[in-house]
Amino acid sequence: MQAPIPTDTGWTLVEPLRAVIGVAALCLIAWACSSNRRRVPWRVVIGGLGLQLVLAGLILGVPATAAAFEWLARQVATAIGMADAGSAFLFGPLAAPDGPAGFVFAFRVLPVIVYFAAVMAALYHLGIMQRVVAAMAWVMRRTLGVSGAESLTVAANVLVGQTEAPLCVKPFLPRMTRSQLMVVMTGGFATIAGSVLAGYVDFLGGTDEAARVRFAKHLLTASIMSAPAAFVMAKLMLPETEAEPAETIAAQPIEDRKASNVLDAVVMGATDGLKLALNVGAMLVAFIAILALLDWPLEALSETEWIAGWRATHGYGPWSVQGGLGLIFQPIAWCIGAPAGDVSQIGRLLGTSIVATEFVAYADLRTMMAEGTISPRGVTVVTYALCGFANIPSMAIQIGGLGAIAPSRRSDFSSLAPRAMLAGALACWSTAAIASAIVGAG
């Protein structure tokens, strides 16, 4: 049973100042890792940060637009809830969160991914999503002055996965510069697929309708805001130094396979969703088990007499991989606006997300929420920070997926993957920092 989430998030007037410091620090990290600091396109950087701030203000701050976006989040949450009908038919009482088995991830969340993948496939077949993607790409192209191919693939990443979005610029990938490829990859790491977002809403919100709407709103906002942030971090870390190829970009279909009708699109989408759901389940089993395996010797070592005495003196618990990650990522947690009492917990979640995927981190967040060991404001901030595919396992997914689309650039994808993953993480964290300055209630 999920613990209720209070609405008081502990926002103070200090938070906007901390957000400025945090975003500046994150940009400084990206600039320090830059391949050519003198060639940084400051129009893209300043424009991207400005667009992030405008989006955050409109969605979270301005009453009229905030109310409209909350209505949209409510419709999305309701649509996601329709997956319960299919789950109940297939799994019976096992799919009910208040059933005899309680909340079972495999029966509650994975079917949502299959269902929403089918819905997205139908919307793409009807041409609805292409228009949304084209509109977002137009805004970024005009605001930031970036190429059409870059803006189109980053906009597509807001709605589809990191390996599907580049299909809309498939003909241009072999001719793209390394800086443009960096943007394509960073966009994939900085955002999440619509089907996975649906799974998060069901996972974190549970059966509490208000919580589902709240998480839908924050996750949608995070993915939208991180699109311009991807340009900021990618161009800071790998500025353009080559001649950009000529291009003629139009909104192209995401799918490599053409469905004959809506029914065929739904079938294909459900099949792809099943593959994704099985992949998510397999990764969760593997990485949670591997973390437990790594914790085993660490915990045994920490229980030795002299280390146990030192821990007791200084108030530390048993050693673990996630505990170490919490210490390493505490400065980042502070930069993104984490409450003082949650810095260690949020640092741990950030580290877990990088090492073992955001799904594992969100699973830990759900446990913290149920146990009441993280504040409401901490939940809100870290929901934004974790909303992306910026993790080590996703590097392999991107290299494999993009390498299949453009085999001639596989070596570039491999060499850019670590840098793009870091840029994607920085983009997600900057989104969390900006959101923390505006969100006054979860």
User: What is the rounded distance in angstroms from the CA atom of residue 332 to the CA atom of residue 98?
Assistant: 37
Asked if residues 426 and 30 have their Cβ atoms less than 8 Å apart, the reply is: yes
Rounded to two decimals, what is the model's pTM? 0.85
- pLDDT at position 219 is 94
Could you identify the residue written with the tokens 């969340």? 109
- Taking the CA of residue 171 as centre, how many other CA atoms within 13 Å lie in the half-sphere pointing to its CB? 9
User: For residue range 333-361, what is the model confidence (pLDDT) as tens digits?
Assistant: 999 999 988 999 999 999 999 988 898 89
- pLDDT at position 340 is 87
User: What is the rounded distance in angstroms from the CA atom of residue 328 to the CA atom of residue 345?
Assistant: 11
User: What is the rounded distance in angstroms from the CA atom of residue 161 to the CA atom of residue 170?
Assistant: 15
Dihedral angle sign, alpha carbons of residues 64, 13, 442, 389: positive
- Taking the CA of residue 225 as centre, how many other CA atoms within 13 Å lie in the half-sphere pointing to its CB? 31
Q: At 270, which amino acid appears?
A: A
Beta bridge partners of 441: 8
- Tokens at 435, concatenated: 């959101």
Which residues contact residue 365 at a Cβ distance below 8 angstroms, ignoring those fewer than 6 apart? 204, 349, 374, 379, 382, 383, 386
- pLDDT at position 98 is 67
- pLDDT at position 440 is 61
Domain ranges of the chain: 28-438
For the chain, residues with pLDDT lower than 70 are 1-12, 97-99, 101-103, 244-257, 314-315, 440-442
Could you identify the residue written with the tokens 């469905």? 259
